[in-house]
Every structure is written in structure tokens, then in C-alpha cells.
A and B are shown apart, each in its own frame.
Chain A
Amino acid sequence: MLESLQQLAGGFGIATSVDNLFYCLIGAIVGTLIGVLPGIGPIAGIALLIPATFSLNPTSAIIMLAGIYYGAMYGGSTTSILLNVPGETASVITCIDGYRMAQKGRAGPALAICAIGSFIAGTIGIFGLVAFAPPLARAALAFGPAEYFSLMVFGFVVLSNVTGTSLLKSLMMALVGLIIGTIGLDPVKGDARFTFGSMSLLSGIEFVAVAIGLFGIGEVLANVEKPPALLEGSVRVPQLRELFPTRQDLRKSIKAILRGTGIGFGVGLVPGPAPVIATYSSYLIEKRISKHPEEFGQGAIEGVAGPESANNAACQSAFIPLFVLGIPFAPPTAILLGALLIHGVTPGPMMISEHPQLFWGVIASMYIGNFVLLLLNLPFVPLFANILRIPKRILLPLVILFCITGMYSVNNSVFDIWVMLLFGGIGFSAGKGKFEGAPLLLGLVLGPKMEVAFRQSLMISHGDFGIFTGRPISLAFLLATALFLVIPLFRLGFKRPRKGGSADRR
């Protein structure tokens, strides 16, 4: 632990260099803007800005992209509170009490408590990262291909279990993603697969195109489909003097913030859309233990403080599996994995020893980023709120232009724009049937890794599948996977059929 703290101190040295501070600031500001603007979430936002980091060194690049990630998470809460429109999924829960507070003229304290809660969660999260990441990296050294394969299977099943409306639908989408991930050169023998003679497909489907298509274009198309009257909303911009929470607000919030941080940090370590699960869990717990549960839904500040802190803590701890195992458990970290690979850094158990500057620099920058967000967001809330006044009918065309520009600049290839368009259509249509895009994206990113792990395991065992059950860690992951597959069946068995339909989650 002491050694880790020393390394963290070194990380602060790296993160506070003028260049990195600048990129952290840019990341936090751009991220907040992305979070504030409906129609473009953190996934598409990070994917779009990867090309802008090509000229940077890997540490600065990841510092900026990580800043965009947690900045977007914070920005998302601004639209939830002021407009009742969540900027991204994790902010849905903030709408409930945050918007009610805004309606009562208390948008300022709600926004302020978001910033304060996020900062406290970020501060505690840093120490969690320092405490957990190095020992986990040492433990991960014992992982062979069989363990990695089982872990990835576990990740897919858990993600599918908690994403969307149906386990089957999410599993299907994950499989589609895995299959799309096999397009291009065979990672073991180098044979071309599913390329149909196209040179553009030899290097596989560009994951940035899929991410921007599914989450950027798909979201814009869903907005465009709405009647013009529903497209725009009204927003009341709070004044600076209205922003400060009262002492009673702070007293009510502090315990919720601490609980939210604990829940968020724990949830971020397991596969799935951690911020979404963390915010929901935190809200439910706050409501359950509150002496005044009837206030929830009517503008209870704990209903904002807990989930927002959980959101931020989950974002931070989600970096642990990414950096330490090299396996992202959620789409935003999957995009960050892609960015790391583009910059020539392969995350995994050796990352801490091979790229200590990057690892500790990024961790330290997260703390600085949270501080920047605290300083930035409170005084600039009126400014960000004013951005929400830009009519969507002007904003959406600009988002599309940004998507086309960003997409072309990844590989200077028009082919990628076609792929983006295709996946935009898929994302839009999938959304109609409530088929989630997140498992598909994760399947695409993890597909090649999973195939290599699968084939290496079978090569080692001479084709014997017992390798997956004969090794204790692998067996543990498979048993956990089986549990996650069986639980929904049990739930379905005990659920009384509802009149007029049945539960969709299967």
C-alpha cells in the first residue's frame, strides 16, 4: 500500500505537468458538454474524439479521454435536473428527485450536491483504486487463456443479465457482436474471414464506426423520428446565487454520498453497465433506509446525492478491470481499451509495471479531473444550462456533421462512414425492438481476445474442454455464469403472470 501511495505521488507529478493538466481540463469540459447535449452520450463522445488524440502521447491521450468519460457522466445530471431529460442512461434516476427539486426552484442545490457528491466519491474512489488495483494485478498473473475465456463468458452473461429488457435479447446481441468481431484476419493463422474480397474488411470492422453508429447516429435518428413538438423542451436556468445548498441539505446528503460511493465502487468492479446499476441500487437503498421514504420522488436531496456519488465511484472503479485484466466490463471502458490499443498500450496485469507513468498518471488525473469538475461546474452551471436552449433541430445536424468528420478522421476512410451509417440504421432499428447495443459493442471489442483465449486453451489441452472446468479460477467463473443464467429462470418461475401480458425479461 505504501509503495502504491508513493507511485500515486509520482502519478500526481505526471498529471500536474502543464500539458496533462491542459488535456485533463479539455477532457472535463468537452465531457461535460457531451453529457449536457442530448443525442450524444459518453460512448459516442469518446469514440468521436479518439482521432483528436492521435498526436498526443498515450498518457495525455488517456487522461483526456478519461476526462471526457467522467465529465460526460457529470454533465448528464445537469440535463436530468433542469430538463428532465437524462444526458445518458446513468442519469435517468437523477431525473426523479432532481427535476422535482428544479420544479420547486431548488435546481441550484441539486446541481451543487451532484458536484460535491461526485467529488467526494472521486476522492474515495482514488484510494480504492490504489488499494485494489495492484493486488488484483498480481492475482491476475495467475490467469491463463482458460481463465480469461471463462471471465469473458461471465462478463457477457452478467452484462446481458442487467442490460435491457430481456436476457435472451442481450445475449443475442452479444453473439452478433462476437461474430462481427471475427470479420477480418484470423488472429491465429492469418486467414481472411467474411471479407468477400474487400481490402477494407481485412483489418476487421472498425469499432469506432460501430460505436458512433449505434450510440451516436442511432440516437440522433431516434430523436429525428419524434414529432417536432416533442423535440424541444423548456429550461429554467438557475442563477449563481441559487446554487449553494443549505446546511440541512449538506447534513442530509453526506451519508447518502458515502453510501453511494461504497455501492458504486463495488458495482464498478463487476461486469455490466456499472453506473446504471449503481445509481439504481443507491436510490433504492436510500429510499428504503430513509425515515421519510414518502419524500422520494417529491424532491428528496438524498435521491440525488446517493445516485450521483454512486455513478462517479462506479466510473472510477470500472477502470480497475480495464487496466488490470485488460478486459472492459462496460461499453465506455471498451472504447477506452480501443484507444489504449491504438496508442500501442496493451492493458493487463503487466500494465502497472510496464507503463507505470500511464497507469498512475491517469489515476492521479482522475482526482484532478474531479476537482476541476467541482470548480468548473458550479460557477458554469448557468452557462451549461444555456447550451440546452440551442434548439435540437439545429443541434442534431451539427451532431451528424461531427459524427461524419470524426469517423472519417479515424482511418481517413470513406468506407468507415458507410459502416457507421449501417450501424446507425441497426442501432435505430434495434432500439425499436429494445435490443440493446451495449452487448454488441462489447462483443465486437472482446471477440478477438475471446477467440484467441478459446483456441489457445484448447491447443494447450489437446482439444479437451476439461481445461475450462479443471482449473479452479476458471471453474469459479463458469459456476458464477451458470448462476446468472439460472437466476432469471427462477425469477420467471416465481413470477405471477400479469393480466394482459407477461414479463418481458427472460
Chain B
Amino acid sequence: MNRNDAFGGALVCLFGVLTVCLSLKMPIGTFRAAGPGLFPLCLGLLLVVLSAAFTFTTVLRLRRTERRFGAASDTFGSAKPVLGFMAVIAFAAGFLEHLGYAPTAFIVVMALLQILGTNYWRRNLLISMAASAVSHFLFVRWLQIPFPQGWIGL
């Protein structure tokens, strides 16, 4: 039971509220002849009730615990590599169709190896090239999955 719980509960509650609002914009119909909005509306309402109850009780317990034992700090690891990894995946999604599969694969592996702190350029280069070549051969040549070829045709 910590702040993450309360924050998570509040976020889920917000998602439920959003679902309810968007569902109400669709035809609801009746239970006999339900419209497309009825099922998500019911789910959204149920989610709002559950998450509100969860958040409320969590905050109450948290306050009680903090009053007795003082505020506990939530432990977080290093956010930098996590954000770096997500940025590299976003790069792949954004540039795959422009760069082509093999160059994107090379850049992705190279960048991720750098993020993880393996600062041996020559080794990283070798691993990235091997990974990109093997995956190109495996997926494009052998399994014939139609990956985008990009500007340089790879």
C-alpha cells in the first residue's frame, strides 16, 4: 500500500470517467435493444465505482499509516534508461517506413547497447550489424515478411 497505488487508482478512475463521457455520446438504446454505447457505459460506470472506492480507501489507509509511522518514500530505479528505451522504440515506429528494416534494426540495437552502458564501440557495432543482418535474412529473406525497404532499399 503506497502512493503508487493511490495514483494508479486515480488514473484508472479518470479512465473510467472518460469512458462514461465518450459512451454517452453514442446511442445507448435500451436493455432490450442495446445501442453501441450501452456496454462500454456499464463497464465505465463499474470501473468508476471500483476505482473510486479503491483510491479512497487507499488514501485513507495511507494517511493513517503516515500519521503513525511517518511518510514512506517510494523507491524508483533509474528512469533514464527506461525513457531511452521507449524513445528508441518510438524512433523505430516513426522511421521504420522511411529508413527500411535493416538500417532501423541496426540503429535500434546500437542505440540500446549504448543506453545500457556498453561503451565498446567496435563490439557494439559488430553486434548491431550482426543482429540487423541475421534478422534481415531471417524475416525478410526466409520468412518473406514484407518489411518496408526505405530510401536505400534494404
Interface residues of A (CB under 8 A from B): 51-52, 55, 168-169, 171-172, 175-176, 178-179, 182, 186, 188-189, 191, 193-194, 217, 220-221, 224-228, 393-394, 396-398, 400-402, 404-405, 408-409, 412, 414, 417-418, 420-421, 424-425, 428-430, 432-435, 451, 454-455, 458-459, 462-463, 465, 500-502, 504, 506
Contact = CB atoms under 8 A, between A and B. Distances in A.
Interface in B18-76: 19, 22, 26-27, 30-40, 43-44, 46-47, 50-51, 53-54, 57, 61, 65, 68-69, 76
A424 B93 CA distance: 14
Given A179-B43, A397-B108, A409-B145, A186 B85 contact: no
A109 to B, nearest CB: 36
B143 interface: yes
B50 A175 contact: yes
A221 B117 CA distance: 15
B75 to A, nearest CB: 9
A398 B54 contact: no
A458 B81 CA distance: 50
Interface of B: 1-2, 4-5, 7-9, 12, 15-16, 19, 22, 26-27, 30-40, 43-44, 46-47, 50-51, 53-54, 57, 61, 65, 68-69, 76-79, 81-82, 85-86, 88-90, 92-94, 96-97, 101, 104-105, 108-109, 112-113, 115-118, 127, 131, 135, 139, 143, 145-147
A402 B135 CA distance: 8
Contacts of B78: 225, 227
Contacts of A226: 77
A178 to B, nearest CB: 5
- Which residue among A182, A405, A463 has the maximum number of chain B CB atoms within 10 Å of its CB? A405
State the majority secondary structure of interface residues on A: helix
Contacts of B32: 458-459, 462-463
A397 B39 contact: no
B97 to A, nearest CB: 6
Contact of A408 (B96, B118, B131, B143): B96
A404 B43 contact: no
Contacts of A425: 86
Contact of B93 (A421, A451, A465): A421
A221 B76 CA distance: 13
A73 B64 CA distance: 43
B8 A175 contact: no
B30 A424 contact: no
A398 B132 CA distance: 10
Contact of B26 (A179, A191, A435): A191
Contacts of B116: 224, 228, 393, 396-397
B31 A463 contact: yes
Contact of B1 (A220, A404, A504): A504
A396 B1 contact: no
Given A221-B85, A424-B86, A433-B5, A396 B26 contact: no
